[in-house]
Amino acid sequence: MGTACGHEPEPLWEKDGTDAGSKSFMWVYCTGGGEEKAVILYEYQKTRKADHPEKFLKDYEGVCVTDGYQVYHKLAKEKGDLTVAGCWAHARRRYEEAVKALPAKSRKSSLAWQALEQINMIYHVDNTLKELTPEERKKRRQDSVKPLVEAYFAWVKEKKKDGRIAEKSKTGKGLSYSLNQEEYLKVFLENGNVPLDNNAAERAIRNFCIGRKNWVIIDTIRGAQSSAMIYSIAETAKANHLKPYEYFEYLLEEIPKHMDDKDLSFCEDLLPWSPTLLEKCRKTEKK
């Protein structure tokens, strides 16, 4: 059981048997912010079909916080032990785009601004509950956050019913997104471990995206898969407050010592959260 964040796959280019410039994808999964042992996993796939997360999450039980990507919703309906929670950052994003497109003098009078004000208040109140236990956070969410969420959706439905906002406008798309995702955006209210958004996955994919121009040198599927493994190790190490270079160095020193081992239990001591890791691998905490 657990809370995880999923992300719509990012494009990657590879040439192995396909035309130059053909798209393939890197998927990312990570533990939720409240998990003691942080894990970030990248998975290379040639497509973004539903059977990829279906295979990856086949034994997972718990909540997966995602954007509105329908692949995850379809999977949740097929798997009775998987719950999808919506991402409020994605709900907010369309309104932010609408506000930025407006002249500065008219922004605060716009519906998009009103929507942002309401969502920002939901974030503000929920952020005050961060230090609570999951059980207490759920209780306080019911008392102080749920009324704000219900008021927001009542407002969205009123504006949609009004019919004066163009469906294809940024504001119209923001209203539609929230309405379509209402069921999923309310999941966090029933579980104190569930975050408001999947920003953990957004941060995890950002470092990968920074190097996107380098992916033109990846011209085989095995190369892309190797990159996914290396990024998984590096980002998981950083998420557990390790120094990636020193950690890789330690792994490359220790693993060769066990190449003939049939018992792989030694791997437990190499995990990022292992208490037996060398101190040189750990970041020094700032005082």
Query: Is the pTM here over 0.85, yes or no?
Result: no
The mean of the pLDDT values for the chain is 86
- CB contact at 8 A, 170 and 98: yes
Residues 6+ apart with CB under 8 A from 249: none
The confidence score (pLDDT) of residue 104 equals 92
What is the arithmetic mean of pLDDT over 199-214?
71
Mean of the pLDDT values across residues 144-151? 98
What pLDDT score was predicted for residue 105?
Answer: 92
Instruction: Encode burial over 175-209: b for 16+ CB neighbours within 10 A, e otherwise.
Output: bbbbeebbebbeebbebbbbbbbbbbbbbbbeebe
pLDDT 10s digits, 247-266: 999 999 999 999 999 999 99
Q: Whole-angstrom Cα distance, residue 206 to residue 139?
A: 34
Rounded CA gap, 154 and 147, in Å? 10
Question: Given this model, what pLDDT does residue 15 score?
Answer: 53
CA distance 33 to 202: 12
Answer yes or no: are the C-beta atoms of 85 and 184 closer than 8 Å. Answer: yes
pLDDT in tens, 67-85: 888 888 888 888 888 899 9
Judging by DSSP bridges, how do beta strands 82-85 and 40-45 pair with one another?
A: unpaired
